[in-house]
Amino acid sequence: MNNPRILEIRRGVLEKNDLLAQNLRAHFNEAGVMVINLVSSPGAGKTAFLEATLRHLRENGLRPAALVGDLATDNDAQRLARSGAPVRQIVTGGNCHLEADMISTHLADWQLDLTNLDYLFIENVGNLVCPASYDLGEHLRVVLLSVTEGEDKPLKYPTLFNSADVTIITKIDIAAAVEFDRAAATAAIHAVRPGMIILETSAKTGEGMQNWLEYLNTCRQTYPLQPITT
């Protein structure tokens, strides 16, 4: 018997990841925890921003935790643990991005009770290309852009900026010194993702952090999270 010439498949290459991510999101919804995926280029200030965020949230009586992806070290996790929030490292061993199965594996090992959390932050590997393709089950994808990076970066990495929900401009305290062009940055961000919310922050001085926390809180109220009733 001859085989057919064309064998139809029609399957998404990342369907396994996407399905796992959907299951994770359902699991997060059930536990009532809002999950935020932080992406940026290396050196944009993700760790400093996250450290300040964890500290501020805890000061406000909220319960955040963080999963931190890093190529090779646990330096970031050690820094973040100073905030007092539960933190766990995912060493990717050279992998340039996080995938949904890494999240589910580490959460299972961690034995963290998600129902006792308000927010779970996932700090992705510093990379503006690869993380764009992988849904981690997050509710909110946040891209960080520091004032030192060049205002046209969104135009160079449109796929990732287009996939994000909000842009955080970091290191705003040195904006004047590096002649950051706010209008150019805004135009570039809105070219690749019309209407995206842009928040300016400084982890160092605390400027803009309150706005960010309020934004997070608004998102948390809006998302269809269903806390388990006892």
Partner 1 sequence: MHELSIAYHLVEIAAQAAQSAHVKQVDALHLRLGALSGVVKEALLFSYEIATAGTVLEGSRLVIEEIPVALHCPACAVTSVLDTIQVFRCPICGQPSNDIRQGRELEVVSLEIADEQPTYS
Nearer to partner 1, 92 or 217 (CB): 92
Binding pattern for the stretch 186-205 against partner 1, x by CB under 8 A and - elsewhere: ----xxxxxx----------
Contact 121, 53 (CB under 8 A): yes
105 binds partner 1 (CB under 8 A): no
- Taking CB under 8 A as the rule, does residue 94 contact partner 1? no
Q: Least distance in Å: CB of 68 to partner 1? A: 19
Nearer to partner 1, 80 or 188 (CB): 188
| Enclosing H/E stretch for 208 | none
Q: Using alpha carbons, list the distances in angstroms from residue 183 to 160, 164, 167, 186.
A: 20, 20, 14, 5
The Cα–Cα gap between 67 and 71 comes to 13
Q: Near partner 1 by CB under 8 A, which window of 91-99, 135-143, 201-209, 214-222?
A: 91-99
Helix, coil or strand: residue 150? coil
4 contributes a contact to partner 1 by CB under 8 A: yes
Nearer to partner 1, 95 or 217 (CB): 95
Query: Of residues 138-157, which lie at the interface with partner 1 (CB under 8 A)?
Result: 155
Choices 47-55, 172-180, 185-193, 216-224 (CB under 8 A): range interacting with partner 1: 185-193
Please report whether residue 10 would count as binding partner 1 according to CB under 8 A. yes
- Candidate ranges 84-92, 111-119, 128-136, 140-148; the one touching partner 1 (CB under 8 A): 128-136
Report yes or no: 47 and 80 within 8 Å, Cβ to Cβ. Answer: yes
Q: How far is CA 112 from CA 21, 84, 105, 108, 218, in A?
A: 18, 15, 12, 8, 25
CA atoms within 13 A on the CB side of 114: 25
- Of 5, 109, 176, 229, the one binding partner 1 by CB under 8 A: 5
Instruction: Write out the residues near partner 1 by the rule CB under 8 A.
Output: 1-16, 95-97, 129-130, 132-133, 155, 158-160, 162-163, 190-195
